[in-house]
Amino acid sequence: MNQLLTRHETFNLIRRLKASGLSWLYDPEKHRITIDTDATVEENIRIRLPVNFPHIDHEKDQDEDEESIGYIIILIQAGKAAVGYFDDDIIVDHKVFKSYMVRKKQGKSQVKYLKSKGKSRAGSRVRLANTIHFFESINERLQEYFEDYEINRIGLSCSKTLLPYLFSSKVSCPFDKKDERLFKIPRHIHTPGYDILIDTQEWLLQGEIKYSEQLQPLVDSLINGNDS
CA-to-CA dists, residue 214 to 23, 43, 75, 210, angstroms: 18, 9, 36, 12
Q: Using one digit for the tens of pLDDT, what is the confidence trace for 46-89? A: 999 999 998 887 666 666 666 789 999 999 998 899 999 999 99
Mean pLDDT on 214-224:
92
Are domains 2-50+206-227 and 70-203 of this chain identical in fold? no
Contact 127, 154 (CB under 8 A): no
Please tell me the predicted confidence (pLDDT) of residue 129. Answer: 78
Highest mean pLDDT of the ranges 127-141, 165-179, 214-228: 165-179
Beta bridge partners of 2: 210
**Taking the chain, what is the end-to-end CA distance rounded to the nearest angstrom?**
18
With cut-offs at 50, 70 and 90, classify the pLDDT of residue 110: very low
Please tell me the predicted confidence (pLDDT) of residue 179. Answer: 94
Please tell me the predicted confidence (pLDDT) of residue 67. Answer: 73
Among 10-19, 51-60, 192-201, which stretch is predicted with the lowest mean pLDDT?
Answer: 51-60
CA-to-CA dists, residue 57 to 8, 21, 63, 145, 215, angstroms: 17, 15, 11, 28, 25
Please tell me the predicted confidence (pLDDT) of residue 123. Answer: 55
Higher pLDDT, 101 or 10: 10
Q: What is the mean pLDDT of the chain?
A: 86
Mean pLDDT on 90-107:
79
Please tell me the predicted confidence (pLDDT) of residue 187. Answer: 93
Report domain extents, the chain: 2-50+206-227, 70-203
Instruction: Give the number of other CB atoms < 10 A from CB of residue 102.
Output: 20
**Structural fold of domain 2-50+206-227:** TATA-Binding Protein (3.30.310)
Please tell me the predicted confidence (pLDDT) of residue 160. Answer: 92
Q: 111-135 burial string, b = 16+ CB within 10 Å, else e?
A: bbbeeeeeeeeeebeebbebbbbbb
Domain 70-203 = CATH 3.30.390.50 = no
With CA atoms as reference, report the closest residue to 99 among 140, 128, 141.
128
Instruction: Give the number of other CB atoms < 10 A from CB of residue 76.
Output: 23
CA-to-CA dists, residue 132 to 121, 127, 171, 173, angstroms: 17, 9, 10, 13
With cut-offs at 50, 70 and 90, classify the pLDDT of residue 117: low
